[in-house]
């Protein structure tokens, strides 16, 4: 058992979260994480309407009686989704935990807090974590440069970002980006975090609602098979390397504007790919942690293993180094 400020604050058994994941963060995965003692997040914008989100929340409740949350990601968009209506669906569905991510979530934080919802804000810089703390969030989740999805533009890896944040942040904090096993969990705790948040590793589980071709591709990929796209638009995204990500990089290298790549990267293509099994159909988020993914376990098997490894490392390997294991044994 590893009790941290994170497990205490959110009423879960294990210091492991499954962050919001476009197209992947649905009831099957979220309930599996909850049932295995972690904190899973339904991804609000994966649902086409706020009503569909309310139905997905209800569907998740049918699969678990443990706590889970909803992720609300606020990113620049040509036609912004109706955020306030999604937020309303979350509140009316009596969800008690929300992961916000992206730009300036103040209005969402204020309204969610007014309704007694606990908020964990995910960000990629110490200054953003401090501003979220000032906004009144309950916890932060910090994504290092290793993360899948949007790592920001500072390129500070977790090994530096997490302790730098831990030195300044007072509220509970999750380390995110590059975690897949018990070694990572212990490292995160040692760096000052209260637990870990994982994305890519949860995609390669039995319950992740995506085609097996994507899971197999995560197992086969080394740590070298991702691309950082959209850097020239200052909206960097870490995705699995495939025909589309390579084409986007080629076009960016020619100095082409976003409008020239938009048709390649639109969300619908990513979704169609996840369903059909064509890993070259669109872009899909994955981080270099692929180098540590070697199987497709159930979520419970994965989380049991992470906890077992972490407890073994703390209770034996590290204890032996300090001489405490020998005297305790």
Ligand X SMILES: Cc1cc2nc3c(=O)[nH]c(=O)nc-3n(C[C@H](O)[C@H](O)[C@H](O)COP(=O)(O)O)c2cc1C
Binding site for ligand X (CB under 6 A): 19-22, 24, 43, 71, 73, 101, 122, 143, 146-149, 176-179, 197-201, 203, 284-287, 289
Nearer to ligand X, 112 or 316 (CB): 112
Q: Are 4 and 184 in contact (CB under 8 A)?
A: no
Residue sitting closest to ligand X (CB) = 199
Q: How far is the CB of 185 from ligand X (least distance, A)?
A: 12
186: enclosing H helix or E strand: helix 182-190
Q: Are 244 and 283 in contact (CB under 8 A)?
A: yes
Q: How far is the CB of 77 from ligand X (least distance, A)?
A: 12
Q: How far is the CB of 102 from ligand X (least distance, A)?
A: 7
Nearer to ligand X, 49 or 324 (CB): 49
Question: DSSP 3-state assignment of 39?
Answer: strand
List the beta bridge partners of residue 285: 239
Q: How far is the CB of 60 from ligand X (least distance, A)?
A: 17
Q: How far is the CB of 144 from ligand X (least distance, A)?
A: 8
| Neighbouring residues of 154: CB distance < 8 A, sequence distance ≥ 6 | 124, 125, 145
Pairing mode of beta strands 237-240, 226-229: antiparallel
Nearer to ligand X, 238 or 319 (CB): 238
Nearer to ligand X, 75 or 130 (CB): 75
Nearer to ligand X, 35 or 43 (CB): 43
**DSSP track, 80-141:** ---HHHHHHHHHHTT--EEEEEES--HHHHHHHHHTT-EEEEEESSHHHHHHHHHHT-SEEE
């Amino acid at each position: 058992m590893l009790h941290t400020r994170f497990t205490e604050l959110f009423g879960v058994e294990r210091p492991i979260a499954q962050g919001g994941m476009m197209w992947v963060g649905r009831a099957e995965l979220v309930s599996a994480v909850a049932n295995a003692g972690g904190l899973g997040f339904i991804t609000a914008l994966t649902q086409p309407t706020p009503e569909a989100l309310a139905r997905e929340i209800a569907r998740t409740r049918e699969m678990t009686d443990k706590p889970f949350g909803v992720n609300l990601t606020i990113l620049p968009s040509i036609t912004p989704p109706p955020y306030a209506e999604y937020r309303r669906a979350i509140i009316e569905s009596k969800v008690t935990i929300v992961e916000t991510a992206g730009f300036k979530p103040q209005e969402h934080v204020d309204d969610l807090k007014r309704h007694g919802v606990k908020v964990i804000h995910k960000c990629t810089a110490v200054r953003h974590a401090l501003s979220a703390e000032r906004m009144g969030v309950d916890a932060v989740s910090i994504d290092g440069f290793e993360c899948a999805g949007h790592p920001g533009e500072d390129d500070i890896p977790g090994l530096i970002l997490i302790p730098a944040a831990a030195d300044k942040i007072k509220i509970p904090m999750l380390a995110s980006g590059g975690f897949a096993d018990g070694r990572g969990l212990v490292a995160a705790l040692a760096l000052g975090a209260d637990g870990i948040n994982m994305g890519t590793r949860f995609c390669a589980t039995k319950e992740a609602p995506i085609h097996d071709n994507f899971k197999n591709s995560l197992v086969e990929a080394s740590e070298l098979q991702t691309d950082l796209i959209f850097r020239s638009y200052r909206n960097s995204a870490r995705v699995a390397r495939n025909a589309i990500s390579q084409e986007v990089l080629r076009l960016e290298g020619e100095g082409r504007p976003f409008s020239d790549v938009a048709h390649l990267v639109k969300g619908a293509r990513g979704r169609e790919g996840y369903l059909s099994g064509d890993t070259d159909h669109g872009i899909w988020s994955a981080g270099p942690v692929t180098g540590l993914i070697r199987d497709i376990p159930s979520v419970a098997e994965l989380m049991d293993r992470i906890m077992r490894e972490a407890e073994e490392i703390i209770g034996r390997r590290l204890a032996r180094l300090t001489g405490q294991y020998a005297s305790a044994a």
